[in-house]
Amino acid sequence: MSKRKIINDPVYDGFLSIDDPVILSVVEHPYFQRQRRIKQLGLTYLVYPGAMHTRFSHMLGALNLMGRALDTLRQKGVDITDDECRGAKLAILLHDIGHGPFSHTSERVLVDVPHEDITLMMMQRINAEMAGALDTAIAIFSNTYHKHFLHQLVSSQLDMDRLDYLGRDSFFTGVSEGIVGTDRIISMLNVHNDELVVDEKGIYSVEKFIISRRLMYWQVYMHKTVIAADNLLLNAISRARELDPTAFHLDTAAPDFIDRFAQLDDDDIMVAVKHWQHSDDPTLRTLCSNLVNRHLPAIRISNTPFEGIEDDYLHGTGELHNRSYDFNDQEIKVLYKDGRCVGISEASDQLDRHFLEKQVVKYYAYFPKEENSPSAQ
């Protein structure tokens, strides 16, 4: 009987279990524990108060789904070795470990390398500490492993990352639009010519998944009030940097970069923002006090760009776009009983190319609540 750790997770039946000692060691690693202090959805909790869930819980959830997916594929006769199982699990567990505080928000101002690069650096660092135990995981993550479908389980249009975050974000925000039949989709996964595919009976579930993702984009991920809050935080950090260039300065070329990066989490940013409320600079004071007390900018959305907006710390513009499904990326494939394998855009009666290709672009402008709304073109 192997040692087994049970971790409680309200999203999937209340718990998940881990029994691989290598995976347990990675979960206990400080780089991984740090993700307990980084919220999955950044400032979204200012709109959806339940959305306090962390990257830590998302990574464990994705691990859980990966385990189920691998079990399903093996039951269907797909050849996956024990080493590949562990590799795929470690790859999904660590695939987002390079995210900084407030994830996407701060990434634009805190460091000048993409989070994928930091992820790889951190994986290599852990790998070195663990005598190469992550070799396969790194190959799968980097898409250099010869079985391509393992990478697709980690990163593709139907990967375990997306499956977990849609369900999880829906659960914690309370937005039922994101509920996905996760178990059913996973039970329909298969492999055909080294590609991850979905059995014919899973077409409806995939349709639901694509639509849910699109609805979650507009209702949660690009909620206009969240966009307003994000810009407020970005402007606060930028203004603080302007006043003191060493604020949260991280030199990506420095040898201790990863160590210093790994020290940083959401709490540091929020404590700094609270501190800056007492700055000598009135602009910084205003920005920070507004964020702490949730006095957010007004924001307008339009189908056409705004013009004539001054772009200072209190005003600004931007654009939002979303395409639920990417044809340039690999299509989700459906495997029929008769052996045919076609893209979902062809297999689906509901979601034809017109629907899937549709790209929506919107423009926004934010400004102090007290001012009049600007007008779009």
| 217 secondary structure, DSSP code | I
Size of residue set near a second copy by CB under 8 A:
74
Binders of a second copy among 247-286, rule CB under 8 A? Answer: 263, 266-268, 270-271, 274
Residue 323 touches a second copy, criterion: CB under 8 A: no
Residue 181 touches a second copy, criterion: CB under 8 A: yes
Q: Which of 115, 113, 208, 192 is nearest to 152 (CA)?
A: 192
164 contacts 58 by C-beta, under 8 angstroms: yes
Half-sphere exposure of 237 (CA within 13 A, CB side): 21
- DSSP H helical segments within 76-179, as ranges? 82-94, 103-110, 115-129, 135-141, 148-154, 160-173
Dihedral of the CA atoms 40, 41, 46, 47 (nearest 10)? Answer: -130
The nearest distance, CB 355 to a second copy, in angstroms, is 6
CA distances from residue 42 to 38, 100, 127 in whole angstroms, order as listed: 8, 10, 29
The two beta strands, 14-18 and 189-192, are: unpaired
Q: Which of 208, 198, 90 is nearest to 145 (CA)?
A: 90
Q: Position of tokens 């790194």?
A: 138
The nearest distance, CB 154 to a second copy, in angstroms, is 21
Candidates 4-12, 126-134, 157-165, 244-252; binding stretch for a second copy (CB under 8 A): 4-12
Q: Position of tokens 């499956």?
A: 163
Residue 221 touches a second copy, criterion: CB under 8 A: no
Measured from the CB atom, the residue of 145 and 209 that comes closer to a second copy is 209
Residue from 64, 157, 205, 231 binding a second copy (CB under 8 A): 205
Q: Binding string, 37-66, against a second copy, x = CB under 8 A?
A: x-x-----xxxxxx-xxx-xx--x------
Give CA–CA dist 31/133, Å, rounded.
Answer: 16
Measured from the CB atom, the residue of 87 and 178 that comes closer to a second copy is 178
Binders of a second copy among 93-122, rule CB under 8 A? Answer: none
Residue 162 touches a second copy, criterion: CB under 8 A: no
Residue 338 touches a second copy, criterion: CB under 8 A: no
Residue from 21, 36, 83, 346 binding a second copy (CB under 8 A): 36
Residue 197 touches a second copy, criterion: CB under 8 A: no
Candidates 144-152, 158-166, 173-181, 233-241; binding stretch for a second copy (CB under 8 A): 173-181
Measured from the CB atom, the residue of 113 and 362 that comes closer to a second copy is 362
